[in-house]
Structures are given as C-alpha cells and as structure tokens.
Amino acid sequence: MQNIAVLCALESEYLPRLFQENVFFSGLGKINAAYKTYEIINTIKPDVIINFSMAGAINPAANGLLEVGKVLQRDMMTCPLAPRGITPFSEEPLHLLSGYPGVVCGTGDSFVTDEDQWLIQNEVDIVDMELYAIALVCERLKTPWRSFKFVTNYANDSAEPDWLENLTQGQKLFDEILQTI
C-alpha cells in the first residue's frame, strides 16, 4: 500500500474518513500550502501527495469533482520582467503537470469574482488558492502529486455565498476516489 498524504486547505473542506492519520490542513493561500507541503514531504516522506479542496469554475462546463491535469500560477504579474504566470529568473514552466488527465487549474491568492481574459486565453477551467504551490514543492522535492477539486461556485458576483453553501458537498465523492487509489 502506498504512503499517501492528503492535503486540504481547510478542516471545513474535508472530514477524513480514510487515511485519517495522514490528512493535513495547510490554511489558505500559496505560502501556507508551500510550507505544509514541504513539512509533509520532509516528515512522513509520502509516495504521493493528494490535494483535495474546493474550486471556483471559470469554464461553465466545469462542475462536480474534477481531477487536475495541470496547474498554473494566475497571480504572478511581473511584466515587463516576465509574462503573466511566469516567475522571473526562474526555470519553472508556465504549467506544472500531474501526470494524470484532467482540467487546468489557475492558482492565486485572490478570490475570483470577475471574468479574466487571461484565464480564458490560457484555457483555465477552475481556480483555487493552493495547488500551484503544492505542485511546485512536490516537483522540486521529486514527490508525485495529484489533485481533486470540487467546484463550489462560478467566478461571478455570487461566488462567496455559493462557496459557503457548497463547501462540504464534495467530501463523499472524494472518499470514493481515495478508495480506488
């Protein structure tokens, strides 16, 4: 059996039923997620980190529980040093790949409530606040990662109340996925 670590942002997003001893919570945002990912890898040395959390949809067809195939950083904006999404003076590519088919996730430390043409042009399906940081730490420390996101809201004026209302609906679906991994 694999040594699996499950990483979520908030305790309210996932009440663990499986792998209870290896479920961790980072708090919101990229810095918290990066720190917790690094801590998990150096402490329990998992075979894989599986991220589960909520996401907002950019693509109107995105709904339910989705696996992420690639992730990009949506709030790195340093023009003219580098195009949006690229960290200047860094060798990381625009997209980090999970190795599994799935949707495109855009990570940033902001709640998306308006249309963003850059996200549409880069074919971003969903947005979150942690995955890019988790994936980048995993890539640097050579630890495989997977991510499952439950769409709670769409990037519009009702994003916040929809997110709050749908926060726990993806837990049962995620447990079903965990049983197959």
* Band (112; pLDDT cuts 50, 70, 90): confident
Q: Over the range 105-116, which residues count as b (16 or more CB within 10 Å of their CB) and which as e?
A: bbbbbeebeeeb
Please give the helix or strand (H or E) that residue 144 lies within, else none. Answer: none
End-to-end CA separation in angstroms for the chain = 9
Instruction: Give the pTM.
Output: 0.91
For 118, other C-beta atoms within 10 Å of its C-beta total 13
Looking at residue 118, its pLDDT comes to 93
Task: Indicate whether 72 pLDDT > 80.
Answer: yes
Q: Quick one: average pLDDT of 56-82?
A: 93
Looking at residue 7, its pLDDT comes to 96
Q: Quick one: average pLDDT of 54-74?
A: 94
Give the whole-number percent of the chain exceeding pLDDT 70.
89
Do residues 138 and 38 make contact, with C-beta atoms less than 8 angstroms apart?
Answer: no
Q: pLDDT tens digit string along 119-167?
A: 999 999 999 999 999 999 999 999 999 999 999 877 666 656 666 666 6
| Number of domains within the chain | 1
Query: Which two structure tokens, joined as six digits, stand for 171?
Result: 């837990």
**Across the chain, where does the E strand assignment appear?**
4-8, 23-25, 48-57, 65-73, 95-97, 103-107, 126-128, 145-154
More confident residue, 148 or 13: 148
How far is residue 164 from each of residues 13, 56, 64, 81, 160, measured CA to CA in Å? 10, 12, 15, 37, 6
CATH of the domain at 81: 3.40.50.1580
Give 96's strand partners.
Answer: 71
Task: Indicate whether 15 pLDDT > 80.
Answer: no
Only one residue has tokens 């979520």, namely 8
Do residues 147 and 67 make contact, with C-beta atoms less than 8 angstroms apart?
Answer: yes
3-state DSSP assignment of residue 55: strand
Looking at residue 37, its pLDDT comes to 98
Looking at residue 111, its pLDDT comes to 82
Looking at residue 166, its pLDDT comes to 64
Q: Quick one: average pLDDT of 90-95?
A: 86
Looking at residue 109, its pLDDT comes to 93
Q: Quick one: average pLDDT of 90-99?
A: 90
Range of the domain at 152: 4-180
Looking at residue 140, its pLDDT comes to 96
